[in-house]
Structure formats: C-alpha cells, structure tokens
Chains A and B, each alone.
Chain A
Amino acid sequence: MLNQRAPQILWALPDPLMALNSAFQVEYINSALEKMFGISLSQVQGKNIQEAGLQVESDWEDLIQKLKDFSNGNSGSPTRMSPENNKAKELLSDPLMPKNSFGPYQNRPKITLNEKIYFYEIFEVLDSQKSNPLSVVLFREITKDIAINDQMVQAEKMSGLGTLAAGLAHELNNPLYTIIGFSEMILEKKEKSEIDYIAKGIGERAKQLAAILENLNSYIQSNPTDGYMTVNINERLDAALEIALLTHESKNITINKNYSPLLFLKARSDEIQQIFFNIFANSIQAMNGSGGIEICSTNVDKEIVVTIQDTGEGVPKEYIAKVFDPFFTTKDQGEGTGLGLTAAYQLVKKYGGRIEFNSVQGEGATVVIYWPVVNGSGL
C-alpha cells in the first residue's frame, strides 16, 4: 500500500520540511532538514523551536513571527507579502532594470543558511478529528534560481541599454543628417519655392527630434510625486482621444465608448493622458485611416480597468513580447519612434498598475491597463 510508505516518502523528500505543534515544539523533521541544519530528528524532537539549536544567518526571527501569526490565524496566506511594500522600491529602481533579482521569489519569505537561500511556505495539517493542528514549514533552496535570475536581469539590462543607445543614435542621426544637409541646400538654392520646401523639411525634422526626446523623457523620468492630483480617468481618455484623432488626420474611424462613472486615480494628469494618447496614436496609425476603436473603462475587483481595442492591422505573434521594448517598432522608419508603448508601460507602472498587450495579426490589437483602487475610490 502506498499509504504505508507515506512516512518514507516524507522522510526522503528532497525539500527540507519540519512540523511544529501549537506549543511550537518540533514534532518532526525530514532527512533534508537534518542535512540543512546538520542536526538529527532525535536531537530536536519535542524541543521548542527557539531552543532546538536551529541557527540561520538571516531572517530567522521573521520566520518565527510568521509561524506565530500563522498559528494565531492572523494571516491566511503566510507566504504572501503585501504588494505595497514593493511599490516604493519599484518607483526608485533603475528604469532599465526590468525586475528585482529574486524574480519569481521576490515577494516570498526567505532565510539564509550557510550562504544558501531558502524560501519557505507554511501550511496547516489537522488530525482525523480535525484538531491538534501542526504548522508545517516547507523549505526550498533557491540559491541557483536567484543566480540564474541575476544573470538574466543583467543580460536584459545590457540588451536594454544597447537597444536604447543604438535606437537613440539611429533615431536622432537620421533627422540630424537631413537638417544639416537641408541647411547646406538652402545656401545653394536661389528659387524661393525650393527654399520654402527645404526650410519646411528642416522644421519637420526638428519637430521629430523633439517628439523623440519628449517620449524618451517620459521613459526615463523619475519625479515620483510631483504635481499629483485627482485625475478623472474618463476625462483623460476623451482628451487624449481628441488630440490623437486631430493629429493623425483620421476620417473613417468609429469610436465606441463604454465608460463606468467615477473612476479616479491619484496621479499627474498629463502623464495619464500621455499613456492614453500613445495607445490611441498607435491604434489610429494601425488602422490606416479607417476602422473602429472601442474604449471601455470600469472597476473590477478593486481595480480600475481600461481597455482600448482597435480593428487595425495588429502585430505578428512573435513581436507581441517586444512591444514594450524601447525603440521596438513594427512601423516603417519615420512613422514611429518605438517609444510610445515603452513610455506608456513606464507610466502605468509608476502608478502601481500593469499593462497588457494582445493582438491577432490582421484583426487588431487590445491594450488593457489595470490600476489598483486605493481606499475604495482610487484616491
């Protein structure tokens, strides 16, 4: 019978495990935990966890506290930390650093022992009478995972920097070359109409440079709390849409709005509008002058959810993961800087939100933005 061998299985489990009773006495440890602490089951059995001689280098007190909280029922999910703790760190972090080095373990509780890092979770086991609860702590060594993740982050960061530098050089050098060349041409030309044409070209190229720098600025800027106010999401959607439609000479575009009232966010108004504008500009460009945009704003599970869907040409599947990368663009050169969605991504994240992009090539694209509602109303 498999059931009879369950103790053997538990004993041989490669992940360290210990079980404590409600008096915090050690009832059981498996062989992996013996090895981890260099201690045997007989040495610790029946001893209070604080007196059992289990020593770690860091965060042991945190584990004890979590165990106490857990057995007092203070925390239904002891392995989860509140996301707010990490928000401040994210705001201050390097804009080119996509994630913290702990990767998927970022929010998990951890201890360090003999330079190895373990994450753990705590769960409860009741006997057949549904009493005598045991708190079971299951550890998993993640030292290697973290090292691999560190390398990936570094690689991503370097490739991000490389993309940024190369993209920036390319985007700036083309208009610069035109401006320099055109100004040389003006000196040679005598006809007023020719000179007018060239001068107009210089102005357009200079504006293109300004637009690149403006988007780049929203990409790297880090003034976290300047000018915060109560922003009405629907108003910003409308304002951004109006500007996007004006600047892109769009004629046959139908707009379908479905707004929930009273959606507010504490933010910089211009930044929220910039996010929406960048998305609308992409949609309108992707539709080549005709199609439809559906805009939906709502409040789901304590989150503001804004969905913008277009009937444009969409993005091939293999590029979907790249759409937020700086200077990535599927548009022809000169039509896009590749910074619009990057800037939108950074700004959405700045306000604790997240942004998703989905597309079926030939059928359009959908962008969904989620912001947490703070204190029930987003304020």
Chain B
Amino acid sequence: MPKGKILIIDDESDVRDVLKFHLSEQNYQVIEAENGQEGIGLLKSEDNLTNVGVILCDIRMPKVNGIECIQYIRQEAPGIPIVVVTGFPDTQMAVNLLNEGVKEYLVKPVEKEKLVATVERLVAAGKEIDY
C-alpha cells in the first residue's frame, strides 16, 4: 500500500528516474515535473495540494528555476515540506534556502539511505501535524 505522494521537480529525466527508483522501492507514489513551472502546475492539479507529502526540487532548471519555484510553493502551500536536491554544494545557498523554509538541502550524488531517511522523517512529521 502506497505510503504517500512525492513530487520530484528536476530537469534531468535520468535524475528523476533514480529518485523515483529509490522512492518507489519504499512504496511511495512518485509524480514528476521537469521544471518549476510544470511542478507548480502539477501541484495545483487533482488532489495534489493536499496529498503530496514531500517535494524534492532541483535548483538549476530552465523556465522557472528551483529558487522561484520554492518561493512560490512556500506561499501557496506552506505546509508541504520541500527538500532541495542539487548538484551545487553551496553553503550560502543552503543557509538561505533553509531560512526560506526548506527542510533539507541534499547534494547530488545523494546516498539512497540518506534520501529515503529524509523523506520518511518529513512524511512522518507532516502526519504528526495533521492529527
């Protein structure tokens, strides 16, 4: 039985495949978008605003980039925890994003155990708030 819905926003389909592979193994239902614009659109469609448990978001993307996308999501859906998964090991950017309300800043290549543990923790925390 699926544990929850995870939205992956990353412009590289290979990277999405790997993230999806790791999360599907743990029985998460994964939905994907390839840029910020598509991510926001997907988040607004169906019941995703209430059912997406965690958003995994890249930073450097065409059209709407990760920073813009995160700012938007923080306004429209402040309850959904966001995890940044990026190739940039940038401390200053990480601090800024964490101040913006991002829950975790993971640098690729991120280990499967760390990714899964982060998502599990955030999904569990989200449920605690609900009840």
A window 151-195: CB within 8 A of B = 166, 169-174, 176-178, 180-182, 184-185, 188
B87 touches A334 (CB 8 A): no
Interchain nearest-CB distance for B115 vs A (Å): 10
Q: In the assembly, what is the distance between CA of A333 and CA of B108, in Å?
A: 15
**In the complex with contacts A169-B87, A169-B88, A178-B60 CB distance below 8 A:** no
| CB-CB contacts below 8 Å: B15-63 with A | 15, 17-19, 21-22, 25, 60-62
Using Cβ atoms and an 8 Å threshold, which residues of chain A touch B87? 169-174, 177
A333 to B11, alpha carbons, bound, how many Å?
7
A171 to B21, CA, bound (A): 22
Tally A residues with Cβ within 8 Å of B. Answer: 21
Contacts A181-B17, A182-B14 known; A173 to B108 CB distance under 8 Å?
yes
Check: A226 CB closer than 8 A to any chain B CB.
Answer: no
Q: Say if the beta carbon of B78 comes within 8 Å of chain A.
A: no
Closest to B110 in A: A177
Report chain B residues within 8 Å CB of A333.
11-12, 60-62
Most chain A CB inside 10 Å of its own CB: which residue of B14, B17, B62, B88 = B14
Nearest CB in chain A: distance from B96 CB, A: 14
> How far in angstroms is the closest Cβ of chain B from A245?
26
On chain A, the residues within 8 Å of B17 by CB distance are 178, 181-182, 185, 201
Q: Which residues of A contact B (CB under 8 A)?
A: 166, 169-174, 176-178, 180-182, 184-185, 188, 201, 205, 332-334
20 contacts between A and B (CB under 8 A): A169-B89, A170-B87, A174-B87, A174-B108, A178-B12, A178-B15, A178-B18, A181-B15, A181-B19, A181-B22, A182-B18, A184-B18, A184-B21, A184-B112, A188-B21, A188-B25, A332-B62, A333-B62, A334-B11, A334-B12
